Structures are given as structure tokens and as C-alpha cells.
Structure 1
Amino acid sequence: MKYRSILLIIMMLVVSKVFTQQKTITPNEAVSLALENNYGIKLANNEIEVAKNNASILNSGYLPTVTGNAGSTFNIDNTEAEFSNGNSTVLNGAESSRYNAAVNLNYTLFDGLGRSYDYKQLKQRYQLSELEARETIENTVYQLFTVYYNVAQLTENTLALQQSLEISRDRLLRAQYQFDYGQSTKLGVLNAEVDINNDSISVINTKQQLINIKRDLNVVLGNTLAGDFGVDTNIDFDVLYDKEELFQKAKTKNITLLQIEKNITISGLNIKSGKSAYLPTLGLTGTYGWNKNNNNAASFVTVSTSTGVSGGLSLSWNLFDGGSTITRVKNAKINLESQQLQKEQLQIQLERDFNNAWDDYHNKLNIYKLQEANIITSQNNFNRTEEKFKIGQVNSIEFRQAQLNLLNAELSRNQAKYDAKLAELQLLQLSGELLNIQF
């Protein structure tokens, strides 16, 4: 028994040393790794690049199109020619060839301003893609801290459970001594062994949960962490938020609201683009060409070469297209109206969600403070019970209850602490401030 206790103490020291040698990932480091390596963020950045390319002048329709054409033909003819003076000639296998090349230019001078509105839409869609990427980043950061603080909570839970296990081991050692010297029955030893087994199982399960959730965190970070690591379990709640100021930020910076406003702008431009079909289209064409003919001997001209430039204007006006343009414009107006209704609905929901998040944060913060106070009470109760247990004034059942009360208080405190922090982050995300704080 004595040697087993010494062995357990040595194992605890080894485990403690391993924990201290772990690399600790701070919240700032975790955010930096996620922004750089998270695959969802990488995909969102690629979408931004696509939208940026679409919004360039090369995709605007403002630039002309230039095409080049070239061709050649080669003939072998059997020709019988009779001239006006009565002479005639017969040519067998007479060769002739023709060559041509041209550069053509086409440019739309005016298309009813449709091109202008389409280009503006592309720029707005580029800005919308940036907002969508920001939403992805915000969601990823919140997901990151959900997993990060889960790791932190399980880390503290593991330490609390290990401390409780050490208390149970000490109790078993004491019960064994008392039994050896005839001061108690074997029942005290058996009860202590049962409690040690239960505490050991809790430690094993919690450690496995910790290992699993660390793997989840590494996935969010793009699988960039090699080997074991720890996280920072220190959390500050010193920031004082002004509810009205934060709500005003929510009405101007909330990412979902910003996206619907951008879609409203795009829909307005879409209506104007559709109306451009009512106006005529004016186009400019130009050609520079070169031609060379090598004729056979029967031709009046043996070789001819010509170069020249031609240009022209074209006007087209779709006077009536069967009503498709009218239908498109009407549908675009209805779509705009629907998005404006969605914005009004979102504003009402945002106010509700903000007030709920504000109350939830402060409630959880108050619960955390109460749990902190409960730790002190539970610790004092355990210390007194332990003293009485040592002198035989309380039995092992009462001692075990005081031990469990302290353990549950520590576990509840850990839960409350990280619940309050996540509630704070959710409040900041609704307000559009999640990416503007120092983690």
C-alpha cells in the first residue's frame, strides 16, 4: 500500500511536468492561425478574388473587341479562252492563288446605359463578396472560441478531478492505517476504494474528452499544431459595455444587415439595367484589310494587291420584344420590394436578438460571480469537514459529500466562466464588433 502511494505520487509529478512543458496557444495566436490556415476562410478569400476579377474593366463591356482574319486559296484550272480579236488559247493546269487578311474592330458606343449599370452591379457584388467573407471569418472566430474555451474548461475540469482523486487516495491511505491499527472496520477501506475507482473513471473520461476536443480545435486551425498543446485558461471580464452604444453599432455594422442592404442596392441597379433595353443600341465597326490575287495567264490582270480601311455605324432598336423586357423589369421591382421587407423584418429580429444576447451575457456573468463565491463557501466547508474527519467527528459519507460539493462547485464555476465569455462574444458578433476586439 505504501509503495503504491509513492508510485502514484511519482506519476502525478510526471503528468504535471508534461502539462507544464506543453506549448500554450493564446487566444491571439489561435485567431492568427485560424485566419491564415482555416479552409473555410481560404475558400471565402478565393470567392473574393473571383468577384474582384469580375468587377475589373476587362469584364465591364466598355472595351472594344478586335478580331483578326486571314485566308488563302489555291486553284489549278484547265482554261480555254477566246479573245475579242479572234485569237484563242488553251491553258491546262493553270495556277492561281488568292490571299487575304483583315483586322476587325467592334465597339458599342451606347446600349441604353445597360453596360454602365451592369458594371456597377459587378462592383457591388464584389463588395458583397467581401461582406460574405467577413461573415465567414466571424463565424469561424466564434466557432474557434467555442472549441478553444471547451478545451480550457476541460483542462480545468481535469485538474479539479485529479485534485479530488488525490483527496480520495489520501482518504484511502488513512482508512487503511485505521484498519491496520484496529480503529475502523474494513468497510471504510472498501468505501474509499469504490470512491477512488469512480474518481479515476471520471479523470480518464475527461482526459479523453480533452484529447478529442483538442483535435477539433486543431481542425479549426487548419491542422497546424503538431504534438500536444495547452490553452490559456485566464479570462477577463473587465470591459464595461454601454448597451445603447453597442446597439447603435449593431444597427450599422451587423453583417447580416449589411448584406441585405448591399443586395437592395444591387436590385436597384438591376431594375435600371433592365430598363436600358427600352433604348436603342449604337455600335461602331472598323476594318483594315489586305488582299492579293495571283491570276492565271487567261486573266486580264495577272497580279493584284489591295489594302484599305472601312468603318461604319450601326443602330438597332428593339421596339417590341414580345413583353419580355417589361416582365423582367416588373419582377426586378418585386424582388427589390421583397428585399426591403426582409430588411425591415431583420431589423426587428436584430433588436430582439440583441436584447436577448445582452440579458444572457449579464445573467451568465452574474452566475459566474455567484459560482466564484460558492467556491469559497464549498472550500471552507470542505476544510472544516476534513479537520473533523481526521479527528473522527464526521464519518466517511459526510466527508465524501463535502468533497463532492467542492468538486461540483469547481466544475460549475468552470462551466459558468466559459458560458459567460461565449455569451459576450455572441453579443459582440451581433454588434459587428467581434473582429475589432483584442482577444
Structure 2
Amino acid sequence: MDTTRSGNYIFNLADCIQYGLAHHHDMVNANLDVHFSEEQVKEATGKLLPHADITAGFNDNMKLATSLIPDIASGNYDKKIPVQFGTRFSSNVLGQVNQTIFQSDYFLGLKAAKVYSELASKTYTRTEIDTRVAITKSYYAVLTNQENIRLTKANLDQLKKTLADTRARYDAGVAERIDVDRIQVSYNNSATEIQNQIRLLVYTMQLLKFQMGMPQEDQLELKETVQDLTVDDFATDTSNYAVTDRIEYSIQNTQIALNELNLKSKKMAYLPKLSAFVNYGYNYFSDKFSSLYNTGFAASTLGLSLTWNIFTGTERLHQIRQNRITLEKSVNDRNYLSQQIKVEVKNANTVYQNNKALFVTQKENMTLTQGIYERVVLKFEQGVATSLDVISAESELTQARTQYVNSMLNTLISKTDLDKAMGRIK
């Protein structure tokens, strides 16, 4: 990857793809999704670690609660007397550590988080493939537009020479004005066509930079030409591909794994939750706020907590059935995806083979038409052909050139689509 200076790049296809994988909007977000999933795994792991809390409280019992108790002092137990217990001010501080020993959701959640992280990684790969394909197609569009301009300019140079020779012959009185005008019209049309092609080239270059995530203000120059691609030598073999090579198939397998974990989670929700805890704290009492924290009374507890939801209606049963149906659908989707991939490969191969055959034909036709045009021009210069013959040959050459360039672009794009369908773009 060459750069002459910041914001000025000279790239080949591999360089464009490398730049796009680092800068394209979708790739940046996909990479952030991967990091997000990694944090979710760490979050799920953190739930298995001990959790510590500190709680504190302060109470001002402005009016103590009154209770009725038997009059023990006088021995009259049938008589109730009002008494107040406690102090006006009270405070407490308590620290507690909780540790989950067993809870099915925690452990399954950790597995699900890891599978989700795997899904995010595969989604990143799919985004990478889509980015490669988009950049490759845009890159080919630029190259074919450049080739179209090169061929048109070569034709324009020939027309310019023919026009100059015809004008000289007219000035010498051996050619007619109509011959000069006809060739001038053809020359003007070709010159205008080149300007249109240049504007189209500017747009395709802008599209390429957009697919790469490159600022439009930066300058991009391509190292390669279509001659470096050897389009007519492209070959492919559709007999040794496998549907499992497609990232979409792998993503669907991961989705099935997630659905299996969801089903297992609902089934294991019937199991009890067991946790342990230990706490230590101080309680403070006083009738005066100034002396509240002079003396503290320590307290500590170590214990286990078991929670078991024996019956929660039929809600969980139906949730299990729903998750089982979702799992069956995801398996069915994978089977459908397998068939879909096979059809995509057959269709992409058909389109590619047709485009390649047409490209070979159009390339030969352009060569033949170029030869016809050159012979007609030679005959015209010798006075045995008319200007109409030149214009007709030039028109046929322009059509052949356009068909050649279009078939080249279609071949390159369909080859890219076929490689993607077979899972060969990684």
C-alpha cells in the first residue's frame, strides 16, 4: 500500500480492501459489536463472583411506641399497664458478602454470553465479506471505465487523423465538403462521449472511496488496469464447494446453539437457587444524639439461603414449549438456507458462464471491427471508399467497444458474485 502523502493514495485492489476493512462505517461498528460482546462475557462472569454491600441507617424515634404489658410488679396480671421500650436515637452499620453457590441462570447465562460473542464475531466476518465484495465491484467499475476512455481516445485519435487528411484533400480539391462535415460530426460525437465517460469515471471513483470509507476530499489513484486482471483467463470450479463454507450457514448454527441454551435455561429454571452470605455490623443506641456513637454492639451472621419455586402455575411450561418451537424453526431455517445457497451458486455460475462467453465473443468482435474500421479508413484515403463507409465503420466500432467493456464489467462482477455464493471470499 503506497501513499505519496497524507490524503493522497496509490492503491491496488488489495490495498483498497485493506483500507476499507479498517475505515468503512459498517466495519467500525461490527468491530465495536465484537468488543461489546466481549464485555457481555465479562459481565456474565462477574455475576459468579462474590457481591459485597454496606448498609447504614439512622433513626430518630421522636415518640417511642407504647406497648401494654401485665402489671407484674403488683401481681395483678389481668391489669395492663402502658410502657415504652427503646431509646430515642438508634443507628446501625452492616457489611454483607453474598456468594451464589448454584443458580442455573448464572451458569447458562455465561455460556449464552460466550455463544453471543461467537455470533458477533461471525457477524463481523459477514460484514467483512460484504465490504470486500462492495469494494471489489466498485474497483472493477473504475477500471472498466478507464479502459473505455482509453479505447475511445484511441478511436478519437484515428478520427482526428482521418479528419485532418480529409480536410487537406478538400483543400487540394480532391475531396468534397460533405466528407469533411460527416467525419467532423463523428469526431465531435466521440469527443463528447469521452467527456461523459470522464464524468462517469469521477462518479465511480467517488463510489469506490465511499465503499472504502475514504473521505471524498482524499485523492485516490489505482495502480492496476484491466490488462492486469486477465479477465479471459478466469476459471472456476463449482463442484468442490460446500454450503458450510458460507458464513451465513455458520451464523445459523450459532443461532441454533443460542436457541438450545434458551430452551435449556427454561427447563433448568425449576431447580432451586442456593447462596451463602456472611455479615458483620454494629448497632448504636442512646437517648442523646451526642453520645449515640460512644458504644456499639457488634453482630455477625453466617448462613445459607435456599429458594425453590415449587409451582408457578403453567407459565413456565408454555415458555418451554415456545422455546422448543423457536428451536425447531431455527433448524428448519438452516435446512432452507442450505437449499438456498445451492440455488444461489447455480444461478451465479450460470450468469458468470454466460457473461464470460459473451465477453470472449465481444472481445473478438471488437478486434474484428477495429480491423474493418482501419481497412475502411485506408480505402477512404485511397479514394475507393466513401465517408459514409468510414462513419458506418466508426459507429460499428463504437458499439463493439461499448459491448466489450460492458461484458468485461459484467464478467468481473458475476465472478465476484459466484465466489461469494460459494463462500470463497473470506
Q: Secondary structure at the match of 2:239?
A: helix
Give the CA deviation at 1:269.
0.8
Q: Secondary structure at the match of 2:47?
A: coil
Among 207, 210, 216, the residue aligned to 2:201: 210
8 Å Cα contact 1:293/1:303 also seen in 2: no
Among 238, 254, 258, the residue aligned to 1:243: 238
- Which amino acid in the other structure matches residue 31 of structure 2? N
Among 248, 251, 267, the residue aligned to 1:256: 248
1:49 aligns with 2:44: no
Comparing 223-232 and 371-380, the one that deviates more: 223-232
Cα distance in 2, alignment partners of residues 254 and 69 from structure 1: 55
Comparing 275-284 and 402-411, the one that deviates more: 402-411
- The alignment's C-alpha RMSD in Å is 2.7
| 1:5 counterpart residue number | none
8 Å Cα contact 1:114/1:272 also seen in 2: no
The superposition leaves residues 55-94 of structure 1 with CA deviations (integer Å, 9 ceiling, x where unpaired) of 12555632232111234457899xxxxxx9xxxxxxxxxx
Give the CA deviation at 1:145.
1.3
Q: 1:177 to 1:66 in 2, by over 3 A?
A: same
8 Å Cα contact 2:119/2:251 also seen in 1: yes
Q: Secondary structure at the match of 1:32?
A: helix
When the two structures are aligned, how many residues end up with a matched partner? 393
1:111-130 map, 5 Å? 111=103, 113-130=104-121
| 1:134 counterpart residue number | 125
Cα distance in 2, alignment partners of residues 317 and 75 from structure 1: 38
8 Å Cα contact 2:162/2:377 also seen in 1: no
Cα distance in 2, alignment partners of residues 416 and 56 from structure 1: 52
8 Å Cα contact 2:56/2:92 also seen in 1: yes
| 1:183 counterpart residue number | 174
1:288-299 map, 5 Å? 288-296=280-288
8 Å Cα contact 1:160/1:407 also seen in 2: no
| 2:82 counterpart residue number | none
Give the CA deviation at 1:235.
0.6
- Which amino acid in the other structure matches residue 235 of structure 1? L
Structure 2: gaps of 5 or more residues: 1-7, 64-72, 74-86
8 Å Cα contact 1:60/1:119 also seen in 2: no
1:277 aligns with 2:263: no
Q: Secondary structure at the match of 2:269?
A: helix
The superposition leaves residues 175-200 of structure 1 with CA deviations (integer Å, 9 ceiling, x where unpaired) of 22122121122211221221122112
Give the CA deviation at 1:230.
3.5
Q: Secondary structure at the match of 1:244?
A: coil
Cα distance in 1, alignment partners of residues 293 and 253 from structure 2: 71
Cα distance in 1, alignment partners of residues 416 and 203 from structure 2: 24
8 Å Cα contact 1:115/1:273 also seen in 2: no
Q: Secondary structure at the match of 1:278?
A: coil
The superposition leaves residues 186-236 of structure 1 with CA deviations (integer Å, 9 ceiling, x where unpaired) of 211221221122112211111111111111111122225723523522213
Cα distance in 1, alignment partners of residues 21 and 312 from structure 2: 50
The superposition leaves residues 370-428 of structure 1 with CA deviations (integer Å, 9 ceiling, x where unpaired) of 22322332222222222111101111121122223233333322222232222222122
The superposition leaves residues 224-278 of structure 1 with CA deviations (integer Å, 9 ceiling, x where unpaired) of 5723523522213556543222x22xx2120111111111111011100011222
8 Å Cα contact 1:296/1:302 also seen in 2: no
Among 319, 322, 346, the residue aligned to 1:328: 319
Comparing 323-332 and 399-408, the one that deviates more: 399-408
1:374-393 map, 5 Å? 374-393=365-384
Give the CA deviation at 1:433.
1.8
- Which amino acid in the other structure matches residue 236 of structure 1? T
Among 109, 115, 132, the residue aligned to 2:101: 109
Among 166, 183, 189, the residue aligned to 1:192: 183
Give the CA deviation at 1:135.
1.1
Cα distance in 1, alignment partners of residues 30 and 297 from structure 2: 56
Comparing 231-240 and 131-140, the one that deviates more: 231-240
| 2:25 counterpart residue number | 39
- Which amino acid in the other structure matches residue 30 of structure 2? A
| 1:162 counterpart residue number | 153
Comparing 366-375 and 67-76, the one that deviates more: 67-76
| 1:371 counterpart residue number | 362
8 Å Cα contact 1:152/1:231 also seen in 2: no
Cα distance in 2, alignment partners of residues 23 and 193 from structure 1: 39
1:298-309 map, 5 Å? 303-309=294-300
Q: Secondary structure at the match of 1:103?
A: strand
8 Å Cα contact 1:151/1:231 also seen in 2: no
Q: Secondary structure at the match of 2:312?
A: coil
Cα distance in 2, alignment partners of residues 108 and 402 from structure 1: 87
1:26 aligns with 2:12: yes
Q: 1:228 to 1:281 in 2, by over 3 A?
A: closer
Cα distance in 2, alignment partners of residues 228 and 349 from structure 1: 38
Cα distance in 2, alignment partners of residues 331 and 76 from structure 1: 56
Comparing 29-38 and 196-205, the one that deviates more: 196-205
1:151 aligns with 2:142: yes
8 Å Cα contact 1:97/1:295 also seen in 2: yes
Q: TM-score, normalised by structure 1?
A: 0.82
8 Å Cα contact 1:287/1:309 also seen in 2: yes
Cα distance in 2, alignment partners of residues 296 and 416 from structure 1: 97
- Which amino acid in the other structure matches residue 40 of structure 2? N
8 Å Cα contact 2:44/2:106 also seen in 1: no
Comparing 210-219 and 355-364, the one that deviates more: 355-364
Cα distance in 2, alignment partners of residues 328 and 231 from structure 1: 59
8 Å Cα contact 2:93/2:281 also seen in 1: yes
